[in-house]
Amino acid sequence: MMVPMDTSRRKELFIGAGFVVIIVALMIFAGVASSGKSAQQARPFTGTQTSAITADDHTKGPLGATVSVIEYGDFQCPACGAYEPIVERLESEYAGRVQFVFRNFPLYQVHKNAETASMAAEAAGMQSKYWEMHDLLYQKQAEWSEVSTGSVVAEYFDKYAASLGLDVKKFDADLKSDTVKAKIQKDVTGANAAQVDHTPTFFINLTQIQNPKGYDEFKSLIDAALASSTSAQ
């Protein structure tokens, strides 16, 4: 003969069963999520394509080089600053063989002075000192990054311009010019078209690569591109 269960006991079992169902559901969900994440991590990297190098680009190295390295960068980005010594070393080592290009991709939402820094580099370029300002902005990144946007030009960028022998009055006018704004916008539009979503992002022969872990890995990618271009001739 079955003994009838009292109401409180039924309630306890019902609640307990409910908890079991919830826990099992969470475990299944976690398993599915984990499986999806693992599949995503295992998916091979597929690089996007960027636009061809033009006369508007800032370049180092021979125009007819069979290998090019394009960087989309942000002057206020710490990761870009960390990569800069590696890029400079590669530029020196592959001078005469590889064309290096820098394109603006200021991350407006997270780096308050990034756009103004891009404008400063472009304005210096209008007095033939683009790369000098480019290098200076990275070298002194910690100095100007957290300064008020309204005063960063007067407090720092004008001084950098003067140290490079630029006409500071012209530099200030060019910095705000439509020409400079249009150049930066062109770079940003190209970055968006190439699905760039972080800085720095590098392209070898117009194809995006995963960011190398260091100099040796970056060098091996360039060497492979050079070997490939040589065998194709």
199: left (phi over 0), alpha (psi -120 to 50) or beta: beta
Q: DSSP class of residue 155?
A: I
pLDDT digits 0-9 by tens, 109-154: 999 999 999 999 999 999 999 999 999 999 999 999 999 999 999 9
Q: What is the dihedral of CA 123, 126, 127, 133, to 10 degrees?
A: 40
Q: What sign has the CA pseudo-torsion 90, 94, 95, 99?
A: negative
98-104 and 67-73: which strand pairing? parallel
Q: DSSP class of residue 68?
A: E
The residue to which tokens 């995963």 are assigned: 210
Question: Any idea where the domains of the chain sit in the sequence?
Answer: 58-232
DSSP assignment string, 161-218: HHHTT--HHHHHHHHTSHHHHHHHHHHHHHHHHTT--SSSEEEETTEEEPPPSSHHHH
Rounded-to-integer distance, Cα 144 and Cα 148, Å: 9
pLDDT digits 0-9 by tens, 173-217: 999 999 999 999 999 999 999 999 999 999 999 999 999 999 999
- pLDDT score of 44: 78
pLDDT digits 0-9 by tens, 159-169: 999 999 999 99
- pLDDT score of 81: 98
- pLDDT score of 100: 98
- Residue 139: CB atoms within 10 Å: 13
pLDDT digits 0-9 by tens, 7-26: 443 344 333 434 333 333 33
Rounded-to-integer distance, Cα 141 and Cα 117, Å: 10
- CATH code for the domain defined by 58-232: 3.40.30.10
